[in-house]
Amino acid sequence: MRLPARGLLAAGAAACAVLILLIAATGLLLAREYVPTVSGAHQSANGLGGVLAYLRGFQYWGGNVALLVAGLTVFGMFWYGWWKHARAVWLLTLGLFVATFVAHVSGKPLPLSRHDARTMIVEAKTAGLTPVLGSALQDRLLTRDRVDDRALRNWYAAHRVFGGLMATVLALGVLVALYRSGLRMSAVPTGAPVVVGLVVAFLGAPPGDAAQPADLQGGAVSPMWYVIPLHALPRWSQSVSPGLGWVGVSAVPLVVVALLFALPWLSRYRWSLAAARGVALVGSLAVVAAYAQFGGTMQSPLTRAVHEMPAGGTETPEEGVNRALAERGARVFDRENCRSCHALDGEGARGPGPALDGVGKRRPHRRQLMEFLRDPGSQGATLMPSYDSLAEEELAALAEFLRAQTG
């Protein structure tokens, strides 16, 4: 079969498949030690020693490398039109990329560090914005908007389905499809585990501190590298209207994935390679823009530490609330449609933002709240839009309204 970038892209697909198979195999060994409960998850994942600790590191870094390689390979296949000439390889590799991503998102928080617990809350509430199915999905991933044993077991089950079963089947399918297409495996795919193994030997897997009760109910958290584009989409759609967060959360990703899977059949309707490359360029620019705009808030893969919001502010917690200013802030709060992401007094959305009841007790400083509203992403609230466009008086009023919520 004559295909452009034949050796490079075949090696990329095979390397991802080999890594996924090794991760699945090591996962079976680690599953014997893992305890999917709030009290046992952190210790069972981070208290390992010897070979098991090494395998834990291999899972962590191997998953990161597999996801990166799969994404680059899918982009290369898209660019060179493999969806026209190698349909089976294209569909299986694309499926492997999607399954690897879902396995990554569902598996990385399982050790239940402070960062992991907060990530579960954010991702579950983000998924909750999906029309029709969002509420049921959020209820499945959280229990009364918090992480408990039931929620953790559901995350673990999702990870086993996507990371253990689906990704494994698709990885085997990729290797078979490559072989049947005459695309033989080179030394590159077999060398990928060696590279990951060397990284693990030097870095291990970052443990992070065990989740505390407050973390199980949420909190500001920096996103990992692989979700930056998906966090940028709702931010951009919310910049058009706060109620359009669901467009970036579910509509755009689902449409893009559906079109990618449909490409082999769309080519019959004059979907040319030039058109595909135009779409690829637009998508690449969007990803670059996402990292340029929000990459500064990204969590380093070398650590699981939680970066708390700085205390800030000059007012004392005892300073009385300016009721006139708070009333003006209530009007700003309604005008900006903040209840499309937050609940307050039992009204509004369940997520992705936290309920605002009692926020004034947690954040009693007006100046601190104003700084947060100007740039939420820099303080871990990466899904929240910036209100830097508000006039200073309006920003102060909105902060005062939030400061007044002490009930």
- Per residue in 319-364, pLDDT tens? 677 888 888 888 988 888 888 778 888 787 776 777 888 888 877 8
The whole-number pLDDT of residue 345 equals: 82
Cα Rg of the chain (Å, integer) = 23
Coil, strand or helix at 380: coil
Domains of the chain, each with CATH number or no CATH: 6-297 (1.20.810.10), 323-403 (1.10.760.10)
The whole-number pLDDT of residue 36 equals: 95
Strand partners, 146: 143
| Number of neighbouring beta carbons within 10 Å of residue 366 | 24
Taking 80 as the threshold, does the pLDDT of residue 265 lie above it?
yes
Using the structure block, give the residue that is written with the tokens 């030690």: 33
- 21 vs 304, higher pLDDT: 21
Q: How far apart are CA 334 and CA 351, in angstroms?
A: 16
- Nearest Cα neighbor of 61 from 96, 120, 107, 116 is 107
- 260 vs 183, higher pLDDT: 260
The whole-number pLDDT of residue 318 equals: 45
User: pLDDT tens digits for 60-81?
Assistant: 999 999 999 999 999 999 999 9
Taking 50 as the threshold, does the pLDDT of residue 303 lie above it?
yes
pTM of the model: 0.85
The whole-number pLDDT of residue 311 equals: 45
Taking 80 as the threshold, does the pLDDT of residue 101 lie above it?
yes
pLDDT band at 314 (very low <50, low <70, confident <90, very high): very low
| Residue 300 exposed, middle or buried by CB count within 10 Å (0-12, 13-18, 19+) | exposed
- 369 vs 116, higher pLDDT: 116
The whole-number pLDDT of residue 360 equals: 83
Percent of the chain at pLDDT above 90?
45
Q: How far apart are CA 331 and CA 326, in angstroms?
A: 9
Mean pLDDT of 375-393: 76
- 5 vs 184, higher pLDDT: 5
Taking 80 as the threshold, does the pLDDT of residue 313 lie above it?
no
Most confident of 97-106, 212-221, 357-366, 367-376: 97-106
Taking 50 as the threshold, does the pLDDT of residue 128 lie above it?
yes
What's the token pair of residue 118? 């907060």
